[in-house]
Chains A and B, each alone.
Chain A
Amino acid sequence: MADTTSDSFGFSVRRLPGFTALAIACYAMLYAPIMALVAYSFNAGSSIAVWEGFSLHWYGAAWQNEKVQEATILSLLVATVSSISATILASMAALGTTRIRPYKGLTAIYAMINQPLMVPEIVTAVALLIVFAIIKSTTGYQGLIYLISAHTAFCIPFAYLPIRARLESMDLSLEVAAADLYATPLRTFKLITLPLLWPGIIAGMMLAFVISLDDVVITEFVKAPGQDTLPTYMLGQLRRVITPEIHAISTALLSISIIMVSIFFLLNRKKS
């Protein structure tokens, strides 16, 4: 421990007895279940309790399962479309609410943008179920637009936060200089603001993508029959006999999230 405040008797004002042991136990507790899950995805046997040797069998089984293929394609499609739309909308909203002279209604706008973070997911889910049921019965349309608009809405605050943070840390003087040199507002935006803002936009889009990819509750209530994403497919399977196929799918999803979050952190670190 790099500790400058401990004296020659080894007394440190930073140390509290037992805290380090508890913290290490806490880390072990956080990671042990996930590691066990990943380990059993490589089990050769069909049991999820007995280890029968290393094999990639269940990854192959999941890959060839038609339902899993469909769910994967739908998950990726919904996450891609929703995260891109949410990021465009959130970028515009961030530009309209950050580094500006405060105007009437700004507080209400903040509250509305952050609202999906504050309302429990189950409440939003059943509210959407009600509204979409009305729209479905009047129009008869059953397509993907419901899932995509629901995902876009709850992804907006997640995309908004990093973009806003990036905007706040940006230097205004470059844009003022561009304007002084008779650049049009559009040209200033294209040549100065957008390139500077880009890391924030990418970070926001990745968070939105991960959030959309992982969503269970809202998807479960909004989806039409046959519109299963990977998480809702898994939720359905948990009620049946579980095979390591579920472990394999989980491990694949986990890897995508971890890669995305790592890139997000690297992007954010460059900024500071």
Chain B
Amino acid sequence: MSIGGESLSHTTDVKPQGTPRISGYEAAARKAEVHRNILLTIPALLVLVLAASGPLLVMLLYSFLAPGDYGGVVWQPSVDGWFRVFLTRDIFDDTLMLQDAHVTIFWRSIKLSSMTTVLCILLGFPTAYFIATRSDQTRNLWLFLITIPFWTNLLIRTFAIMEIIRNEGIVNNLLIFVGVIDVPVQMLYTDFAIMVGMTYVYLPLMILPLYASMEKLDFGLVEAGYDLYATRFRVLRRVILPLVKPGLVAGSILVFIPSLGAYVTPRVLGGGKNMMLGNLIELQFGQGQNWPLGAALSIALLAIVMVALIVYVRTAQRSTQAHG
């Protein structure tokens, strides 16, 4: 689970200031203060280097080593891991070929994550708008109801979806009861199930930032639109959408990134054969026994995530400049 959106802004808001002329005594006091502040952060940074940032560097190194026979690595440089991300050598005539299975999984990850993001926008936009137009007293309650699923266990929520879309589940029983279908439709263990599951678990990540920007929406502007004989659709498209764009972009990034790296949801709802990137990575450290390939795939996933984050930061900066 990640709530990166809000925190990202912290990283850019501090710029070193030009220091005015100060006395020697004060300079020493300031220096001591900076030392104290740095000392205070060191224990946390140490743990983070040990169990968060450092391992990523070790993994980068591992992606350039040769695979060991039973997992692990052999300490000799090799680009075999990176080579195998998209390519494979034919076992008979040694020609280079595209690794179809990997291309399929990359494509499925990007496709399902994009569709999940779109679904989250379609469901999240009206919901965020609904919350933002409640009275001050009830608004916090509606918001709280979105936050509860956000903080509850992702595995349990995925399990809950699995239960209702299985062949004997509520959805199939209901459809048979109504008479739409005669035999249960196989929904579990399909791409559709993964998409529904990811939409379900990541929806709050879309609603919360969208709400944050809708809360500040000036309805005077909306009214001005209607006064100038705009239709509802035109007001939505030309007035509301441009004003809430920062929230829309933040929400999309917050949904897209964890979807792309999803592991639990495709494992539980995709049932082994409908793999996403996260499951392909796990496979290399489990049955696949190819750690360098797994490391290279992880770095590739991380690179895609970083590109998405940079796009987000750029867009956020541009919109703050545009609106003052």
Residues of A within 8 A of B54 (CB): 131
B155→A216 contact, CB < 8 A:
yes
B164→A1 contact, CB < 8 A:
no
Asked if B157 is an interface residue, CB under 8 A from chain A, the answer is yes
Report B105 CB to chain A, min CB distance, Å: 13
Given A30-B149, A153-B50, the answer on whether A5 and B223 have CB atoms closer than 8 Å is yes
Choice from A2, A112, A217 contacting B263 with Cβ under 8 Å:
A217
B51→A150 contact, CB < 8 A:
yes
Residues of B within 8 A of A154 (CB): 52
Q: Bin the interface of chain A by size.
A: 35 or more
Asked if A191 is an interface residue, CB under 8 A from chain B, the answer is no
B126→A93 contact, CB < 8 A:
no
A265→B147 contact, CB < 8 A:
yes
Q: Which among B56-64, B83-91, B242-250 touches the partner chain?
A: B56-64
Given A13-B222, A126-B59, the answer on whether A30 and B146 have CB atoms closer than 8 Å is yes
B47→A257 contact, CB < 8 A:
no
Q: Which of B147-195 contact A (CB under 8 A)?
A: 147-149, 151-157, 159-164, 166, 168-170, 173
In the assembled complex, the Cα of A122 lies from the Cα of B264 at a distance in Å of 9
In the assembled complex, the Cα of A96 lies from the Cα of B36 at a distance in Å of 7
A130→B232 contact, CB < 8 A:
no
In the assembled complex, the Cα of A218 lies from the Cα of B161 at a distance in Å of 22
In the assembled complex, the Cα of A102 lies from the Cα of B37 at a distance in Å of 10
Given A29-B200, A40-B163, A107-B12, the answer on whether A93 and B40 have CB atoms closer than 8 Å is yes
Residues of A within 8 A of B228 (CB): none
B222→A22 contact, CB < 8 A:
no
Choice from B56, B62, B126 contacting A18 with Cβ under 8 Å:
B126
B295→A130 contact, CB < 8 A:
yes
Asked if A172 is an interface residue, CB under 8 A from chain B, the answer is no
Nearest-neighbor residue (CB-CB) of B271 within chain A: A239
A104→B16 contact, CB < 8 A:
yes
Residues of A within 8 A of B41 (CB): 92-93, 96-97, 109
Interface string of A1-40 (1 = CB under 8 A from B): 1110100000101111111101110110111111011001
A96→B39 contact, CB < 8 A:
yes
Q: Which among A61-69, A195-203, A230-238 touches the partner chain?
A: A230-238
Interface string of B20-38 (1 = CB under 8 A from A): 0000000000100110111
Interface string of A228-257 (1 = CB under 8 A from B): 000100110010000000100010011001
Q: Which of B48-77 contact A (CB under 8 A)?
A: 48-56, 58-59, 62, 72
B130→A19 contact, CB < 8 A:
yes
In the assembled complex, the Cα of A17 lies from the Cα of B233 at a distance in Å of 10
Nearest-neighbor residue (CB-CB) of B277 within chain A: A122
B298→A123 contact, CB < 8 A:
yes
Nearest-neighbor residue (CB-CB) of A90 within chain B: B44
B295→A118 contact, CB < 8 A:
no
In the assembled complex, the Cα of A254 lies from the Cα of B16 at a distance in Å of 45
A117→B3 contact, CB < 8 A:
yes
B159→A238 contact, CB < 8 A:
yes
Choice from A105, A122, A152, A254 contacting B156 with Cβ under 8 Å:
A254
Residues of B within 8 A of A125 (CB): 263
Residues of B within 8 A of A101 (CB): 30, 33-34
In the assembled complex, the Cα of A262 lies from the Cα of B261 at a distance in Å of 29
Choice from B36, B51, B157 contacting A149 with Cβ under 8 Å:
B51
In the assembled complex, the Cα of A219 lies from the Cα of B7 at a distance in Å of 24
Choice from B44, B50, B258, B264 contacting A216 with Cβ under 8 Å:
B264
Residues of B within 8 A of A160 (CB): 44
B298→A261 contact, CB < 8 A:
no
Asked if B305 is an interface residue, CB under 8 A from chain A, the answer is yes
Given A97-B37, A106-B14, the answer on whether A118 and B48 have CB atoms closer than 8 Å is no
B15→A102 contact, CB < 8 A:
yes
Interface string of B183-217 (1 = CB under 8 A from A): 00000000000000000100110000000000000
Residues of A within 8 A of B (CB): 1-3, 5, 11, 13-20, 22-24, 26-27, 29-34, 36-37, 40, 48-49, 85, 89-90, 92-93, 95-97, 100-107, 109-131, 133-134, 149-150, 152-154, 156-158, 160-161, 210-211, 213-214, 216-217, 221, 231, 234-235, 238, 246, 250, 253-254, 257-258, 260-261, 265
> Can you identify 9 A-B contacts, CB atoms within 8 angstroms?
A23-B130, A26-B126, A101-B30, A101-B33, A102-B14, A123-B56, A217-B263, A231-B155, A246-B159
